[in-house]
Chains A and B, each alone.
Chain A
Amino acid sequence: MSEWTKKGPLEWQEYTYKEVRVTACEKEFRGWVLTTDPVSANIVLVNFLDDGSLSVTGIMGQTVQSVETLGEGDWRTRERLTHLFSSGHCEGYSL
């Protein structure tokens, strides 16, 4: 269905930390790109909410029709995204 799944890691990485609008199955999703899974091409978006909390949206790679960059993150946004789910804050994960 989409060109998105055919991209490679370096191309997906270009979108990381950017604000994007994703169209998938005629639906629109907006947010900051946390990552794109290199196996499924699923995109994970983060939205910072007014009350200080955040919401995370995963979009299945197979359904992605287009990804449009809306803006570059400043260093604070980048910083918040980098530390999100990083080691130590990840419950449920133990080896």
Chain B
Amino acid sequence: DTPRSSEPPSERPGERRQAEMKILYGASAAKIQAMEAAVQLSFNKYCDSKKPKYWPVIPLKF
């Protein structure tokens, strides 16, 4: 199938991710993906609104 012109040519990250999830988690893929999305969404929300700074400023371990 050819991508529509509004989409980037060879990139379908959502679909690729879904296929990878299926390989990893089989029948539970959708459930795990939904839980991961909930965790990630909450993190993104905090970081966008609070703009936290790293502590300590310099990494303890390189």
Q: Is there direct touching of A and B in the complex, by C-beta distance under 8 Å?
A: yes
- Interfacial residues, chain A to chain B (CB-CB below 8 A): 38, 92-95
Is chain B's interface secondary structure helix, strand, loop, or mixed overall?
helix
The reply on B34 being an interface residue by CB < 8 A is yes
Please count how many residues in chain B sit with their CB below 8 Å of the partner chain's CB atoms.
5
Q: Return A63 CB to nearest CB of chain B, in Å.
A: 9
* Cβ-neighbour of B34 out of A38, A92, A95 (below 8 A): A95
The reply on B35 being an interface residue by CB < 8 A is yes
Instruction: List the B side residues contacting A95 at CB < 8 Å.
Output: 34, 38
Bound Cα distance A93, B42 (Å): 10
Q: Return B43 CB to nearest CB of chain A, in Å.
A: 13
Bound Cα distance A95, B42 (Å): 12
